Amino acid sequence: MANDLLSVEHVRRTFPRGGGEELLVLDDVNLTLKEGEIVGLLGRSGSGKSTLLRLIAGLSRPQGGSLSYLGAPIEGPVQGVSMVFQGFALFPWLTVLENVQLGLEALNLPPRVMRERALAAIDLIGLDGYESAYPRELSGGMRQRVGFARAVVVHPNILLMDEPFSALDVLTAENLRTDLVELWGNGKLPIKGIILVTHNIEEAVLMCDRVLLFSSNPGRVASEIKIDLPQPRDRTTAQFEQYVDQIYVEMTARRVERLRQQQATSTTGTDMPLTHVSPSQISGLVEALSALADGKADLPDIAYDQELEVDELFPVAEAMQLLRLADVEGGDIKLTHMGKRFADGELNERKEIFSRALVNHVPLAAHIKKVLDERASHSAPKTRFLDELEDHMAEDTAEETLKTVVSWARFAELFSYDDDTAAFSLENPT
Ligand code: ADP
Ligand code: MG
């Protein structure tokens, strides 16, 4: 619609891969940003969030669909859109003032106006007194403030933030979030709308008016949750927790359903990416759960107890679901009978349970084992499996998937992998 700051319709983005193939990163992405809104994009790493921000900023072009800014198609870098990055991207040889002024370069303002605008932004963002400091003299939090000031100084209509708090320590991040929400609420920021990319559920609930849940492979907006709480928000209220829970439930339900489907239909597992999770991370969570009544916990609670972020907890929970050591249902995770036996078992029994789980429930592990069993040499080069995986996924995802299955199989003593020879072999050929 014409009064939208931003509209993204049916956007599709692929990247070229080896062999003339394409990696589909974003497919049929739709979103709008209206004046006065903070919209959150919540999804795990690799789901295409940064790719989408680059498209919105006009720094890259989609292969399909369209993007428009104030009703006009986006066809190149957009003047009214600024970006704040996770890494601070400051120039070390420039002072704070010079770094901030850099944001204004493209506007061709008289030097005096540039200086005034930069000083105002520095003041606004809480950097007063640091004008002539160099980035190396600043803490991480202060550096990120420079990043904000540089983005805000151009008075953009839209501010894009790409995980802007994730490189900061907990307290610093929280201070910066609070300051930002306050400035926004007071109408002091010369900005009309914000898109915040994050993989932190609580951060999204704390700051956003709407949260778009982003799915992976390919990335698309899977659902939208409106956060109907007044600002400033209090993390400790029941309503706040309800939103966090609701998002947990939606994110896990979708992903676990997909995992189950893949597990049921995949024959060789070469079309099933695995996120790297070590056997000790799995054992850790199994043990934490077995200490609880019924071997069961609320996902947000156990994440909090274990000091894990969503990006860290989900892959472990998913691996446990995949191995049938736990059931993930709604917002809960519960040990299975096998999971409880694993928790109670000695190391050898744990290895046996793990080995059986790999053969029975992880198609890729079963596939590799079968190939090794069938070969007279009981060995096979890494490329044998990597090529198969790369038919279905990006190179780095294929590497990670293989690395994951190797670490699981090593623990289970199902088969082994030698880095020097880049070859798989049976641990105990029979
Ligand atoms: P996120 O920000 O959600 O972590 P990204 O947008 O950075 O995800 O990346 C999504 C996927 O697109 C990844 O698999 C990444 O490897 C791939 N990708 C991103 N940029 C490029 C590029 N310029 N060339 C090839 N692949 C890319
Ligand atoms: Mg990113």
- The per-residue pLDDT for range 113-122, each reduced to its tens digit, is 999 999 999 9
Q: Which helix (DSSP H) or strand (DSSP E) does residue 371 occupy?
A: helix 363-374
The structure tokens listed for 139 are 């803490």
Give the model confidence (pLDDT) of 197-225 as tens digits: 998 899 999 999 999 999 888 899 999 99
Give the model confidence (pLDDT) of 325-374 as tens digits: 999 987 889 999 999 999 999 999 999 999 999 999 999 999 999 999 99
Measured from the alpha carbon of residue 16, the closest ligand is 1
What does the pLDDT read at residue 1? 56
Q: Pick the residue with more confidence: 393 or 40?
A: 40
What CATH class has 4-249? alpha beta
**Distance from residue 170's CA to the centre of ligand 1 (Å):** 26
Question: In whole angstroms, what is the distance from residue 383 CA to residue 391 CA?
Answer: 12
Atom of ligand 1 nearest to the CA of 163: 2
The structure tokens listed for 361 are 């429930």
**Distance from residue 45's CA to the centre of ligand 1 (Å):** 9
- Burial class, 418, CB count within 10 angstroms (exposed 0-12 / middle 13-18 / buried 19+): exposed
What does the pLDDT read at residue 80? 93
pLDDT at 8 over 90: yes
Atom of ligand 1 nearest to the CA of 43: 3
Residue type, 230: P
Give the model confidence (pLDDT) of 156-201 as tens digits: 999 999 999 988 888 999 999 999 999 999 999 999 999 999 988 9
Instruction: Please state the pTM of the whole predicted model.
Output: 0.83
The structure tokens listed for 368 are 């590799």
What CATH class has 279-425? mainly alpha
Confidence of residue 308 (pLDDT cuts 50, 70, 90): confident
Task: Tell me which residue has its CA closest to atom 18 in ligand 1.
Answer: 15
Average pLDDT over residues 5-21: 90
CA–centroid distance for 392 within its chain? 21
Task: Tell me which residue has its CA closest to atom 27 in ligand 1.
Answer: 15
Strand order in the sheet with 326-329: 296-298, 332-335, 326-329
Atom of ligand 1 nearest to the CA of 394: 14
Task: Tell me which residue has its CA closest to atom 10 in ligand 1.
Answer: 48
What does the pLDDT read at residue 311? 74
Confidence of residue 226 (pLDDT cuts 50, 70, 90): very high
Per DSSP, helices labelled H in 208-331 are 238-265, 279-290, 299-305, 310-322
Confidence of residue 429 (pLDDT cuts 50, 70, 90): very low
Question: In whole angstroms, what is the distance from residue 287 CA to residue 347 CA?
Answer: 13
Q: Pick the residue with more confidence: 360 or 394?
A: 360
Q: Tokens 């931003």 correspond to what residue?
A: 6
Peptide linkage before 232 cis (omega within 30 of 0): yes
Of 239, 243, 200, residue with least CA distance to 331:
243
Question: In whole angstroms, what is the distance from residue 99 CA to residue 208 CA?
Answer: 28
What does the pLDDT read at residue 2? 53
Give the model confidence (pLDDT) of 96-113 as tens digits: 999 999 989 888 899 999
pLDDT at 428 over 80: no
Average pLDDT over residues 256-279: 89
**Domains of the chain, residue spans:** 4-249, 279-425
pLDDT at 391 over 90: no
Pocket test for ligand 1, best of 12, 13, 15, 52 (most atoms within 8 A of CB): 15
**Distance from residue 85's CA to the centre of ligand 2 (Å):** 9
Q: With contact defined as beta carbons under 8 Å apart, do 183 and 127 qualify? A: no
**Distance from residue 80's CA to the centre of ligand 1 (Å):** 24
Integer angstrom CA distances of residue 345 from 265, 279, 353, 409: 31, 14, 9, 18
Average pLDDT, the chain: 92
Of 323, 306, 331, 427, residue with least CA distance to 373:
427
What does the pLDDT read at residue 427? 66
